[in-house]
Amino acid sequence: MTRRNEPKPSDSRELLASVSDASADTEYFSPIPAGYRKGKARYVIVMGTVMSGLGKGIFSSCLAKLLQDKGLKVAPIKLEGYLNIDSGTLNPFRHGEVFVLDDGMECDMDLGTYERMLDQDLSRANFATSGQIYSDVLHKERHGGYLGRDVQMIPHVTGEVKLRLRRLAMETDADVVFVEIGGTVGDLENAFYIEAMRELAYEEGPHSCCFVALTYILEPRTLGEQKSKAAQLGLKQLMQLGVQPDIIACRCEHPVSEQARQKVSVYGNVPLERVFSMHDSASIYMIPAMLREGGLDFEVIRLLRIEDRIDLRVERQEWGRWCDFTDRIGKEVREVTIGITGKYTSVRDSYASILNALEHAGIALQAKVRPKWIETTHVTDRNAAVHLKDVDGIIVPGGFGIRGTEGKIACVRYARENGVPYLGLCLGFQMAVIEYARNMCGLSGASSTELDPGCADPVIDILPEQKRIEGLGGNMRLGGRDVEIKPNTMAWELFGRSGSVRMRFRHRYEVDPRYIEVLEKAGLVFSGKAPDQPIVQILEVPGHPFFVGTQAHPCLTSRPLRPHPMFVGLVAASARRRYAEDDLPDPLTACRACASNGYTPPRTV
């Protein structure tokens, strides 16, 4: 709305704050949500140089945790440059795993890092892509939202980015919003994000934003010394875009030398004490201590002038809990090997949440968990024993498509018949149903209509109510769902005898209700189901040391101080099988021990 009759503020920033809609009378345009108070929230903006994949999400989440531990409310957001509306259609080979939030948003795997490190559930407000931004801008343009203005990258697209950040700050009542921009500053698709951050710092005023540049220090083996030239050029490119970094984090395999830090300090125009060595660590959960020892948490607090908001008493308590957890890392008394039988095994990020969940369970049980990657494309009933001979437990993870599925079924059969602890996740749950139907129910033609639309016994199928909405593209079950747990089952014991838990899903196909009775009569137990619906979501095989499958992805909700019971049970059963020691806890005892040691149980309904 044009404010023709209002007095013009003397300060340009006041004018920016007062103009929330497009106007033909001014070049200022910065949409601001109603009720937004400038100065309430501060912003930490993390960007990368040299190359992607250096750990911007890890750095940002660890720094956010340190501020959270001081009693501050933090809210992360990941800004992605690709034009996809979400991450749901991305191939794991290209972009790692798809992480699903409780509200059903399919997003980047870095959102999983934030959820684990901050121990909080995020939402679609914490994730944005260029596709989302452009769609919103074009929608507004088509509906007259810009009052006849020619819609441009600046100020309209950048304005939409700032609007999202301010809305997030308001909705979460955040003291500090952590903004991570995917990729690097040299990526063409990131240019408008970086410009939006420059504008945000200008509009919000001094001490409102802290810019962090994550860079890479090369360490060629043939030279035997660290080289900072690539980092210098990346920082120069960032400053050419109008952004002066306040902190520089230097990624490197080994601690960055004083000389390299000095060069980066000079070329980046950043004080040496704010040039930080973020070298490789045994676990990402050790990095908060690395940042804390370097004093970066207090550097950020001083830069943002929020010293008066911190609570050191809260920090002592929270940091003590975290140190109790990290003190157990590297002090394992035994180790187990878990076979991960999938088809994306060449890219470890495809199973990032599974690896994290195994690490959480292993730390809680003081067991070193070593994954063994097993590509299932060539696994059969005849050679399964050869592929699985060295594993103490087996995970069949989720996936889509037919490739490798018969190999997964062979792995399931081997685990069931040989007493090997087994955890089936999503597709792994479906493969367990198919294997049981074929070999225990006599249904040799059992399969899934995803794999074989004309199979004789479609024990896995799209349910009728899902088929009705298939044409609308809405037949995927996504996000958090309540799961009703059957009393006196292993699942009931694993979840602390809770009658209901909340888990996250990402699938289309279900167990066809027509086959449930047949499977149960043959001995399979469905211990978890959807409330008021004929949808089964957890299975188990009685008498087996540990044979559990779930249509859900429990790895998505495992946290460092709250390891998921299904993974704790798997690791405990695997250790018990490997060492054959009677004094080792069984899966149920292990889960109870975790709770008594301060590892809180999962969120229940």
What domains appear along the chain, each with residue ranges and CATH number?
12-324 (3.40.50.300), 334-596 (3.40.50.880)
**425 phi and psi angles, rounded to 5 deg:** -115, 120
Structure tokens of 185?
Answer: 């500053």
Answer yes or no: are the C-beta atoms of 119 and 559 closer than 8 Å: yes
Do the strands 457-461 and 510-511 form a parallel or antiparallel pair, or are they unpaired? antiparallel
Answer yes or no: are the C-beta atoms of 77 and 126 closer than 8 Å: yes
Distance, CA of 451 to CA of 295 (rounded, Å)? 54
Helix locations, 489-597, DSSP H: 490-494, 516-521, 565-579, 587-596
pTM: 0.90
Distance, CA of 19 to CA of 581 (rounded, Å)? 71
Structure tokens of 317?
Answer: 């308590």
Angle at 556 between CA 554 and CA 561, to 5 degrees: 90
- DSSP lists the bridge partners of residue 478 as 506
Collapsing DSSP to helix, strand or coil, 556 comes out as helix
Beta strands in 474-591 (DSSP E): 477-485, 500-507, 510-511, 525-529, 536-540, 547-550
Do the strands 393-396 and 334-342 form a parallel or antiparallel pair, or are they unpaired? parallel
Which has the closest alpha carbon to 552: 340, 343, 398, 393? 398
Structure tokens of 459?
Answer: 């024990």
| pLDDT score for 24 | 57
Distance, CA of 462 to CA of 370 (rounded, Å)? 36
| pLDDT score for 146 | 85
| pLDDT score for 68 | 97
How many angstroms from the chain centroid is the CA of residue 562? Answer: 15
How many angstroms from the chain centroid is the CA of residue 567? Answer: 17
Long-range contacts, stretch 144-153, CB < 8 angstroms, 24+ apart: 145/22, 146/22, 147/2, 147/21, 147/22, 147/23, 147/24, 148/24, 149/22, 149/23, 149/24, 149/29, 153/192, 153/195
| pLDDT score for 533 | 84
Low-confidence spans in the chain with pLDDT less than 70: 1-25, 92-95, 343-348, 464-475, 581-582, 595-605
Torsional class of 598: left (φ above 0), alpha (ψ -120 to 50), beta (otherwise):
left
| pLDDT score for 470 | 47
Which has the closest alpha carbon to 185: 232, 230, 234? 234
Distance, CA of 374 to CA of 408 (rounded, Å)? 10
Structure tokens of 363?
Answer: 């730390």
